[in-house]
Chain A
Amino acid sequence: MKKIYTYILLITATVILAPSCTSYFNDMNTNPNSPTPTSVDPKYELLYGMSRSILYSSSWQTGDEETVCHFAEYAANDPLSASDYNIDARFIQAIWDQSYSALSTFNTIIRTYDGNASYNNIVQICKIWRCWMMLRLTDYLGDIPYTQAANAEATNPVYDTQETIYKTMFTELADAASKLDASATNNIGNYDLVYGGDAKKWIKFANSLRLRMACRIADVDMATAKTQAAAAIAGGVFTSSDDDALLSMGDATTETSSQNPLYYHRNSGVIHMSTAYYRIVENLGGIDWPTVADQAANSNITDDILSVPTALHPAKVDPRATIQFQPSGIVETVTTAALNHNWAGTDPGNISSAVGAKMETGQFVNDYANLGPFFTQNPAKPWPCLRYDEVCFLRAIAIERGIVSGGSAKEYYEAGVKANMTLYGIPASVQTEYLASTTPNYYGTTVSYSDNSGQCNTPLDKILTQKWIAGFVELSFESWSDHRQYNKPTLMPFAHVNESVFTMNATAKANNTPDAYIKRGYYPSTEESVNGTNLKDAIKRMGSNSIQNNVWWDVNK
């Protein structure tokens, strides 16, 4: 009897300890929930990376809308925003984290597949796309990690100077454009959210991006600007709106993070018109406030626009403006009954303590016009990354500034305005009337290219005014950069700034000089504790981490 029990015990013990071999444990510790980096087609990663490259869903609100959109002065006085230049650390963190985690995706694809013929195009697409994405970040902040960023070993990258970044990107764009193979089998398809794997379009995008960059650096390195602009144009830039680089968005049935961020935030009317915007669009083009007849010709004009009381809207206005902004009282309840259906802006720089609370001027932000339904009602509305109209304006600028020789600035200017107006459904007849108009806006700028009378009415004033209107909201990054580069179109120094982050020079404010405006964002505080040495080098180069420091290409012109 005893022996039997002893055997039972011994057998049990053996069974318990039997399966301790290595492969048993290794198999057990292989994650059944996820693919491995080598087992997955890179197109899936490309899709994810592209979709998360712009600030999406809720991060867009903090990282884009509430900062850059206010610095470009389309909007003013969001109570949650950086509209007194005091940028919340989370807003900075949002774009910083997102850019680099997306960069990690593209760099991983490039590292893994560069030189692999079957994935050549996807690799080149990644190279172009990361330039587009990281350009926004360097323009926002100045020196940032780029050449050593998102490396395989997670070793801390140095901060490259903006000059290095621009020059590296010029090379990368040229290289990618030259290597894209239009004859290769398209094995990417819809996983490329911009061009569906169309290599020809990507080549045009790469060149158009080079043109954007070339124009940007004209004040600091005209030689490179000239070389790059010429090469870009020779290589082929966008020639019609069909070439537009539009990032596809999800629809109502996809996960919300893939939906258009403006749609995602459609019920939070936190983009309120600024007075700066109002002053630019009022009277510009000499077109009357829309009527029922205009609505019949253009369904983008809403009933709400038609119902604005005469006292609460300008008599004449840029025809895009009434589509860009809708009157107050639609998504939010107005606080002041008399301002129901008000179509006007509020002075930038006055903030309120909370939603629905009074601003320092005593006004309520919900009493002002807010973002129009044109932008907010379609979850699948593609996000413009670079459009034909911008290319037109860039070419006009390049001609006016002598970056390229030859060509008619006027033609490009007018083509740009028309291409942009067409996007809003503005009838051709109105476009023609608009382009001929010599009615000045608040600052004296008119539309007609040949009319240069009065203040603020040079060709550059016109081009940049039109580029600013065309870049409304979605291209805030470019509009803010243009303003930093040219101080055009004329905007308004903030009525109030947070003294702990921005020292407002009274003279600069009175004279409306570039010093009265924010010049960059600041580096996120997380970098201090994890990449401190490299961060300190960058800050040392730039003098400080202040938002009043100029980035490389900005010479306070």
Chain B
Amino acid sequence: MHIQKNYGKSIKLALMTVAAMFFSIGAIWAQNVKVSGKVSDQKGEPVAGVYVLVQGTKTGTSTDANGAYSLTAPSKANLVFSSMGFNTVTVPISGRSVLNVTLAENAELLNDVVVTAMGIKREKKALGYSVQEVKGAALLENRTTSVATSLNGKVAGMNISSTSVPGGSNRIVIRGNNSISGNNMPLIVVDGVPFDNTQGVGNTTDVSWGSGYSDTGDGISMLNADDIESISVLKGPSASALYGSRGGNGVIVVTTKKGVEGQTHVSFNSNFTVENVMTEPEFQNEYGQGTAGKFVLTSRNSWGPKMDGHLETDWSGTARPFVAQNNNFKDFMNTGTAWTNSVDFSTANEKSSIRVGLTNLQQKGVIPENKLSRTAFTTRATWEVLPKLHLDTKINYTYQKGEGRPEFSASGFNPIFALIYTPRSINLHEMKGIFNADGSIIDWYPSKLTVVNNPYAITHLTGSEDRTNRIDGFMSLKYDVFNWLNAQVKYGIDTYSKDWDRWIRHDLVSSSTLKNGRYTNQTKNYSEANAEFLITAHKDNLFSSKLSGNLMFGGNMMHRHYTSTYQQAIGLNIPELYTIENGITINSSNYKYNKETQSLYGMAQLSWDNWLYLDVTARNDWSSTLPSSNRSYFYPSVSLGWVVTDMLYKYNITLPKWFSYLKLRASYAEAGNDTDPYQLNPSLTTVANMTGGLMGVALPSTLANSKLKSEKIKSMEFGIESKLFDGRLGFDVTYYKKKALNQIIAMPVSITTGYSDKYINAGQVDNYGWEVMLNGTPLDTKNWRLDLALNFAKNDSKVVKLTEGVDQVILAQPMGQNCYVVAKVGEPYGQIYTNGFKVDANGNRLVGDNGKYITDATLRCSGNFNPDWTMGFSGNLSYKNWSLGFLIDIRKGGDIYLQSMMRLEANGQTKETLLGRDAYYTSGTGIVAKGLNVNTGNVNTVAIDPTTYWGQFYGNIGNYIYDASNVRMREMRIGYTFPRKWFAKTIIQSVKLSAVGNNLFFIYNNLPGFDPECTYSTGNGQGVETASLPSTRTFGFNLSVNF
């Protein structure tokens, strides 16, 4: 029997169950036969020490070093093959004398092999630090269009939020934020080659009115899930020590698939999902357009009269019944669809392997006109060119096209922003035609000066299209010099070009800068090459002792080159001709940079008697971005893994049978970091086409620093891992603490110095936290199996110091409002400071004689954007051919400023704003704000009208900071593997059909119809929501066929 390696554990499990059932039908004891064979893993490597048992007896043996076994058993008996780290397989002998078995690895069992730094595969038990691995299969069935979103909830301590446009950018932070003004996201490495993850969202600090940010997607979202074998998340500097400069925030190590020896494999996978709005605010449907209870044609509020069917002459110019209309967010949104098809071919023999994969995605977003398509084509080949000389090469090409990506935040081109200002009595469906018969744009709001309130006009008469061509790959040659020494050279590239067009039609907006339309084109070309060598020596039982180990020495040269051009035609001579030459005014600019780092590194991995493991690494980097005196920087790491159970076993100390495994680990690491190019010397900026058409030169606003040093992150980590009941129950607890020091910060200085910032090395941010992973298999019978896994992470941070005289750095100030997301000395990273209402010593709000709350501009801490803790809980239940899986994730705490809510309430759109309206408009009884009169101290009795009451909250940001706790059904799937006998006479080997759902619903959500994971910026200033695209759910089907 031969079991194909395939799409993951659940399928394997199902297949094996099927196989076991199939072969056990009518099993009858018969005469004994001699059975022999070889047990190998999915890669064709022999597996030693596999326990082979005749089912129902105590007869058994185990495999030798070559994976071979031999025993005598009844010819119709079943053999049970079991080994730590692999799924147990039961195979009927059926009279055969040779029975070769392939065992599938079980990620959740012992002796996991994980991919660590530099792509080195190591036994998990040998590691002195925490690494968490996600198998490629886990990303496929419950596919989302981005690998990043698929990782959500699966890795303890990794937080992900996204801009919620298809193929959009993701903010990924592992174990908290280290850097104040630099990057906090992990490095992504694909098959040992760094993969650029530059964000497609322009802004990282603040967003002002209509500044027009949209998102063309980041790097990780371009990865093709079908090509991924596994993703290892290296969480701390210990794990990522060898990545040096760039690994300080953790590393996401992606390993792609290659051909498996002895197998020819063809498979096809098709996934179709539909997408719709998962959550939106609760609107009121009683009062419509107008002000102070009266209908006002030019109002963008719902403070008008009751929508009781009386006639009003509305924007259409006709008197029509005034009733509630179809104008919820979801009335505007489409049902999105995503269809992914992939084929996968691979074959291998003992000398060579090849794999070819092709995947195509076609997606339509929920926002009209928003589309994404992506095609990825990859080829991986390995070849033993000459004896002992191994070639490994991969080339991957990805083409991605995004269309109609909306603008974010309070932009006139964000349709959601328009919806926030759409009164409840407006029927969106009447806008859908976009044009009136005379060719003018339909808009219920007559002024198209700076805003358009027909969201369909926004999505149809503005547009964007971005095209990315990306090639990444590598070639490596490895030569086994001696059986204990090999040497490898590798050259890897990651290069892409992104071409981005945006346009606005001539008649959409009449303000001076947008009248006559606009066309913008941007191109970016990025390439990074890494050349490296690595010499590895391996020796077991050194000097006949129990000491074994690897010694490695390597070097890397990284060179990055980037160019960009920007061209804009402001005002178009010929309408709808979107070319630069057609511009009335043309602006253009270009930019380029080069950066290089050179590194040397060494690593020693020593093990004593297979129970004590010590790793030591050292790396020195030389960066082109630092001054020559500080260019070179060194950083070491050391980690220790102690497998207590194995030690006790070696010393013949017997443990209770249920106590399978215990390991302790500890590590310490430092990581250095350089900076961006050109920070050392003042850079002036040329500004073309100023008054008189002349060029001007602007001085820098940030004072350069020619004495910058490298940044440093120091981290410590302790962990304990245990497996009980033969691995049926396991846990892993980690405590870590890290300090980010010497940060290169553009430290704000008083603008009166002539500069807004100056680069300095300063500051210290500490993060410390716990990660707990639990997994268990409470149920494991012939037909049933239930696997449960839980991960929990809690991170706390503290900004320990900045620099003399500076007590905070602003991470974001949305739209220049009285809301500051800051890193403030002595407080956690990401505090949200806002204004609010004046309160007395007891916290009672103070009310003026006019019955209104009193605004207090004094900034106070209203929250922090980081969650208190997060948890993911997943399960997989299989019964015969059926499997059922789910993933729930929980976020406790973490605050968010819902600017949309502030605007919606001020506009009288949401349900709460019904308070007091009926009473006021029928009997004139106003609302009495709860609080004490500021002058008398008595309870306020002054009643005010509803518009005034609700209007007073606008601009009082503290009132709109919400705790973003939630419990979310992240993934669900139910699958059925068709019995193999159905396809017995075809080339089809297996067929599995699943129903899948992602981000299905909130089990609990503390926010009023918003999702804290939908952001408009992936910068360091989080915790702010402004007209975000609603969170969406997807559900659909996945079909996989193996040939």
Of the residues B449, B686, B753, contact of A157 by C-beta under 8 Å:
B753
Query: Which residue of chain B has its CB nearest to the CB of A265?
Result: B512
Interface 9-mer from B97-105, B110-118, B161-169, B590-598: B590-598
With A17-B555, A255-B690, A500-B856 already in contact, the answer to whether A47 and B755 are too (CB < 8 A) is no
Of A34, A35, A89, A248, which contacts B816 at CB under 8 A? A89
How far, in angstroms, from A104 to B752 measured CA to CA in the complex? 8
A270 CB to closest chain B CB (Å) equals 11
Task: Kindly list chain B residues whose C-beta atoms are within 8 Å of the C-beta of A88.
Answer: 816
Within 8 Å CB of A103, what residues of B?
A: 754
Q: Which residues of B contact A532 (CB under 8 A)?
A: 805
CB neighbours (8 Å) of A541 from chain B are none
Given the interface contacts A190-B692, A500-B857, does A25 sit within 8 Å of B624 by beta carbon?
Answer: yes
Contact A530 B805 (CB under 8 A): yes
Which B residue's beta carbon lies closest to that of A527?
B750
Indicate if the CB atoms of B680 and A154 lie closer than 8 Å. no
B residues less than 8 Å from A453 (CB atoms): none
A-B contact number at CB 8 A: 261
Q: Are B479 and A9 in contact (CB under 8 A)?
A: yes
Verify B298–A97 contact, CB threshold 8 A. no
B157 to chain A, nearest CB (A): 32
Taking CB atoms, residues of chain B closer than 8 Å to A242 are: none
Q: Tell whether, in the assembled complex, residue B698 and residue A9 are in contact, meaning their CB atoms are under 8 Å apart.
A: no
Q: Contacts A44-B696, A101-B756, A335-B296 given; indicate if A530 touches B533 (C-beta within 8 A).
A: no
| A149-B753 contact given A2-B481, A250-B690, A250-B691, CB 8 Å threshold | yes
Enumerate chain B residues within 8 angstroms of A253, measured Cβ to Cβ.
584-585, 689, 693
Instruction: Mark interface residues in A287-323 (1 if CB within 8 Å of B CB, else 0).
Output: 0000000000000000000000000000000000000
- Flag A485-519 by CB within 8 Å of B: 1 or 0 each: 00000000000000110000000000000000000
Option from A256, A264, A530 in Cβ contact (under 8 Å) with B570: A256
Whether A36 touches B682, Cβ cut-off 8 Å, given contacts A93-B816, A154-B754, A356-B298, is: yes
Q: In the complex, A114→B734 CA distance in Å?
A: 63
A254-B691, A255-B690 known; A31 vs B681 contact (CB < 8 Å): yes
Kindly provide the distance from the CB of B781 to the nearest chain A CB, expressed in whole angstroms: 54
Would A151 and B753 count as touching, CB distance under 8 A? yes
With contacts A32-B592, A51-B691, A255-B689 taken as known, whether A150 is within 8 angstroms of B753 at the C-beta atoms is yes
Q: Does A353 contact B (CB under 8 A)?
A: yes
Contacts of A424 in B (CB 8 A): none
B559-596 vs A: 1/0 string, CB under 8 Å?
A: 00000000000100000000000001101001111111
Q: How far is the CA of A265 from the CA of B449 in the complex (A)?
A: 11
The answer to the question of B43 belonging to the interface, with a C-beta cut-off of 8 Å to chain A, is: no
Interchain CA distance A353-B594 in the complex, whole Å = 51
Q: What CA separation (Å) do A537 and B524 show in the bound complex?
A: 49
Q: By the criterion CB–CB under 8 Å, are B684 and A37 in contact?
A: yes
CA distance A20 to B752 in the complex (A): 41
Beta-carbon contact of B686 and A35 below 8 Å: yes
* A252: B residues at CB distance < 8 A: 584-585
Cβ-based interface call for B1041 (8 A)? no
Q: Are B628 and A353 in contact (CB under 8 A)?
A: no
Residues in B with CB closer than 8 Å to A116 are: none
Q: In the bound complex, do residue A156 and residue B753 qualify as a contact, i.e. CB atoms below 8 Å apart?
A: yes
Number of B interface residues at 8 Å Cβ cutoff, please give it: 98
A547 to B960 Cα, complex, angstroms: 28
Residues of B within 8 A of A34 (CB): 683-686
Interface residues of B in 740-757 (CB under 8 A from A): 748-756
Distance, CA A206 to CA B535, complexed state (A): 74
Q: Is the Cβ of A530 less than 8 Å from the Cβ of B749?
A: yes
B625 at the interface (CB under 8 A from A): yes
Say yes or no: A5 contacts B479, CB within 8 Å.
Answer: yes
| Those of B784-838 within 8 Å (CB) of chain A | 805-808, 816, 818, 838
Query: Across the interface, do A500 and B696 meet the contact criterion of CB distance under 8 Å?
Result: no
A108 touching B696 by the CB < 8 A rule? Answer: no
Residues of B close to A333: CB separation below 8 A = 298, 446-447
Contact A26 B816 (CB under 8 A): no
In Å, the complex CA distance between A2 and B531 comes to 22
Interface residues on A, range: 35 or more
- Bound Cα distance from A265 to B510, whole angstroms: 11
Are A13 and B533 in contact, with the CB atoms below 8 A? yes
CB distance from B573 to the nearest CB of A (A): 12
In chain B, positions 52-106 with a C-beta closer than 8 Å to chain A are none
B1033 at interface by CB-CB < 8 Å: no
Question: CB within 8 A of B487: which of A9, A89, A332?
Answer: A9
Distance between B558 CB and nearest chain A CB, rounded to angstroms: 10
Please report the C-alpha to C-alpha distance between residue A299 and residue B756 in the assembled complex, in whole angstroms. Answer: 47
Considering only residues 33-58 of chain A, those with a C-beta below 8 Å from chain B are: 33-37, 40, 44-45, 47-48, 51-52
* B1017: interface (CB < 8 Å): no
The yes or no answer to B278 lying at the interface (CB within 8 A) is no
A45 adjacent to B697 (CB under 8 Å): yes
Contact with A along B625-666 (1 / 0, CB 8 A): 100100100000000000000000000000000000000000
B699–A28 touching, CB < 8 Å = no
| A33, B589: Cα distance in complex, Å | 10
Q: Which of B515, B623, B693, B696 contacts A51 (CB 8 A)?
A: B696
Q: A-facing mask of B261-299, CB < 8 A → 1, else 0?
A: 000000000000000000000000000000110001011
Is A105's beta carbon under 8 Å from chain B?
Answer: yes
Contact A154 B555 (CB under 8 A): no
Q: A193-B691, A500-B857 are in contact. Are A150 and B816 (CB under 8 A)?
A: no
A333 to B315, CA, bound (A): 14
Once bound together, how far apart are the Cα atoms of A118 and B269, in whole Å? 75
Asked whether A191 and B694 contact (CB < 8 A) given A29-B677, A107-B754, A527-B750, the answer is yes
CA distance A256 to B585 in the complex (A): 9
Closest to A522 in B: B857
Tell me if B389 counts as interface (CB < 8 A to partner A).
yes
A171 touches B (CB below 8 Å)? no
Cβ of A151 to closest chain B Cβ, rounded Å: 6
B951 touches A353 (CB 8 A): yes
- Assuming the A-B contacts A6-B487, A256-B513, are A25 and B690 also in contact, with contact meaning beta carbons closer than 8 angstroms in the complex? no
Picked from B555, B570, B593, the residue with its CB within 8 Å of the CB of A16 is B555
A263 near B: Cβ within 8 Å?
yes
A249-262 vs B, Cβ < 8 Å mask (1 yes, 0 no): 11011111110000
A353-B805 contact in complex given A17-B598, A254-B690, A499-B854, C-beta closer than 8 Å: no
B624 with A37: CB separation less than 8 A: no
- Residues of A participating in the B interface, judged by any CB pair closer than 8 Å: 1-2, 5-6, 8-9, 12-13, 16-17, 20, 22, 25-26, 28-37, 40, 44-45, 47-48, 51-52, 88-90, 93, 96-97, 100-101, 103-105, 107-108, 144-145, 149-151, 153-157, 190-191, 193, 248-250, 252-258, 263-268, 332-333, 335, 353-358, 499-500, 525-527, 529-533
**With A150-B754, A500-B855, A525-B859 already in contact, 16 other A-B pairs whose C-beta atoms are closer than 8 Å:** A8-B489, A20-B598, A25-B623, A28-B624, A29-B595, A30-B681, A48-B696, A90-B816, A97-B751, A153-B753, A157-B750, A254-B690, A256-B570, A354-B301, A500-B854, A529-B748
Q: List 8 A-B contacts (CB under 8 A).
A: A36-B682, A40-B684, A44-B695, A100-B753, A353-B954, A356-B300, A530-B749, A530-B806
